[in-house]
Amino acid sequence: MAQIPVEVSNFFLSMQAGKPGAAALEACFAEDAVYEEPFTGETRRHEGRAAIIKAMALGWEMPMLDIRIEVLGAQVVDGEVQVDWACHSPSIPGGRGSGKNRFTLKDGVITKLITTLDGAGD
């Protein structure tokens, strides 16, 4: 497994903290960052730090119970940090979900994040 850059580690720590980690999560992203995610059942694109945090805040309205994010593996491909993860929570059917995050980093912040869920295509 490749060493995970601090920017990516900070992202996962902030995500796992939920709403109390909001300021730290916001600081992980560039002002003009892009985030693509499938969590509503279709892929949505959010442009700009404020839009990204607004999208992530939806999860804080109905937080999952006892959430734990596990990094399963990481690699760098063409300058992109790819991280396979599993999310453990009794709020998830079967207690576990998994996917991949693809990070583009520049100047110490995330400029692009693409999240896919396992079984949902890449």
* Burial class of residue 58 in the structure, from the number of CB atoms within 10 Å of its CB (0-12 exposed, 13-18 middle, 19+ buried): exposed
Beta-carbon contacts of 91 under 8 Å, excluding residues fewer than 6 positions away, are: 64, 65, 67
Question: Which domains, ranges and CATH numbers included, belong to the chain?
Answer: 6-117 (3.10.450.50)
Task: Please state the pTM of the whole predicted model.
Answer: 0.89
Amino acid 39: pLDDT: 86
Q: Which sign does the torsion angle of CA 20, 73, 66, 88 carry? A: positive
pLDDT in tens, the chain (122 residues): 678 999 999 999 998 888 899 999 999 999 999 999 998 889 999 999 999 999 998 888 776 778 888 999 999 999 999 999 999 988 888 899 999 999 999 999 999 999 999 975 44
* Residue 84, CA distances (Å) to 11, 29, 58 in order: 14, 20, 23
Amino acid 113: pLDDT: 98
